Amino acid sequence: MTARRDLGVLGEQLAAGYLRQKGYTILARNYRFGHREIDLIVGRDDVVAFVEVKARAGAGFGHPLEAITARKRREVERVARFWLRRHGRSGLHCRFDAVGVIVRRDQAPVVEHIPDAWRLGE
């Protein structure tokens, strides 16, 4: 595994742990539809959140959340639609969340969760 891939896996693990601490249940990790993927699908009460996670080893290339492009949002939305066709139910509220993780050597990781980070089609 490459260092970049290791950082991505670590970021997803940290994001999942953070969200669990906030009362969310992890419904799926790395949920795929074709070649597209949603990092985390989480639920709490009647809300399901499709979560894109970005991790960086410092801020030298900008904040991790800046890396969630319009194209990536469209990919997440496509996978979310597929998940909803298979698992959705009446009364379920959906949203798209983003989690940025900064991992620095000799410092505690910083996890930033943005609920409802974008709307379908934005």
> What is the pLDDT, as a whole number, of residue 77?
96
Is domain 3-118 classified as CATH 3.40.1350.10? yes
Backbone angles phi, psi at 96, to 5 degrees: -115, 120
Q: How confident is the model at residue 105 (pLDDT cuts 50, 70, 90)?
A: confident
> What is the pLDDT, as a whole number, of residue 4?
66
Token pair for residue 52? 């894109």
Closest by alpha carbon to 99, among 85, 111, 83?
A: 111
